[in-house]
Structure 1
Amino acid sequence: MAAAPSRETALAAVKAIFERYWLLVEKENYAGFDKRLMSEAVLLDASVGPPSTMTPPPDQQSAIPAPSIIASATFSLKITPAYCNLNNVMHGGAAGVIFDMMTTTALGPIARPGYWDFLGGVTRNLNISYLRAVPVGTIVHVHSHVYQVGRSMAYIKGWMFSEDGKTVYCTCDHHKVSVPSRKEHMELKVPWDEQFEQSREPAAPKL
């Protein structure tokens, strides 16, 4: 049986998503609304299986059953005025973009060529529960945990915490449908690709 991928390998897999994204931005002169988020989000942790370090605080653990976590990614992000409404709190639509992109990247550590590669298919359903307003200037941590993944469907759950882990601002349930990555996207090579393409890790079971 192959050894479980290391934290460093999982981090490299998620970073590769960002590296390919920026090659596409440059090639296509892309200026979409997710560009700011992808430039400002800071990757803190990634894993295959339950995260080893950057987990939510102990009082939140009951809501996050670690044994069933297939992969994870954790990010830090400062909520600047660009993400806020006229009340100087994070806009609900901004939360949608943040969760959509940050939960998708949690598939990176288990992706393979032709299997949830790059930005992992399309969103089927993204359900957000808004618990507390996020004031402008707040640094949040976004935890994304993959709970189920197969050839065609994936389920990821996300949490947005305060930096000190004492406040949960919002949560999300993200259901994705796998579609093939565009050929021209995958033709843009990043340093991770050699290791990615040589991987012999078994794929996750079918749904």
Structure 2
Amino acid sequence: MAQRMHLRLSPEVMAKFEDYSPEERIRAEQCQLREVKVLSDKSAIVTFAFKVDVYYCNASGNLHGGAQSSIFDMCTSIALQAIGKKDFWLNGGVTRVITVNCLRPAPEGEDLLLECEVVQMGRNLALTQGVLKREKDGVIVSTCEHHKAAVPTKPGWKL
């Protein structure tokens, strides 16, 4: 990717994180945000864009399936911030089940779009989905279904 995704936030950002708007929360995560659509108080679609970096490729020069799983994990979790409620899913929770289906290769240098949908979000559980597409023609590269559980942040843990 042209810009690596980082989930650790500075102490200054974390101190104000819960007061940020949904878009400010997502931008704080240092992802290349394309669009945020809030569909309801528990559903949203967040779109990210990135270029396949050699760092995330396998020996054949294509985006590695494990890297796709990690990207889906991070971005679908970040998408939970689109709901924007104070004290609600601020740490993105933990994965219960993540299923990734790799459908076709994405070679190094390919521009991709990742659409992450918060399908349902409750107090303790959430379901997100992701679709990774080639930007040039919208052809699907891979899909994801991600079940999450809300957990409190460990005392003293720094994001």
Task: Please tell me the TM-score bracket, short chain as reference.
Answer: 0.7 to 0.9
Tell me if 1:169 matches 2:141. Answer: yes
Residues 10, 48 of structure 1: 8 Å contact kept: no
Residues 133, 140 of structure 2: 8 Å contact kept: yes
Amino acid across the alignment from 1:172: C
Residue 114 of structure 1 is aligned with which of 81, 87, 91? 87
Residue 91 of structure 1 is aligned with which of 48, 54, 64? 64
Determine helix, strand or coil for the equivalent of 2:77.
helix
Q: CA RMSD in A?
A: 2.2
Amino acid across the alignment from 2:50: L
More strand by share: 2
Identify the residue that residue 133 of structure 1 maps to in structure 2: 105
Any unmatched runs of 5+ in structure 1?
1-8, 19-37, 51-68, 189-207
Identify the residue that residue 43 of structure 1 maps to in structure 2: 33
Residues 114, 180 of structure 1: 8 Å contact kept: no
More helix by share: 1
The correspondence of residues 191-206 of structure 1 with structure 2, limited to 5 A, is none
| CA positional deviation for 1:184 | 4.0
| CA positional deviation for 1:77 | 1.1
The alignment covers a number of residue pairs equal to: 139
Deviations 1:1-31 (A, max 9, x none): xxxxxxxx43223123x1xxxxxxxxxxxxx
Larger Rg: 1
Amino acid across the alignment from 1:85: N
Equivalent-residue separation in structure 2 for 1:113 and 1:10 (angstroms): 10
Amino acid across the alignment from 1:166: G
| CA positional deviation for 1:147 | 0.7
Determine helix, strand or coil for the equivalent of 1:105.
helix
Identify the residue that residue 12 of structure 1 maps to in structure 2: 24
TM-score, structure 1 as length reference: 0.61
TM-score, structure 2 as length reference: 0.79
| CA positional deviation for 1:185 | 5.4
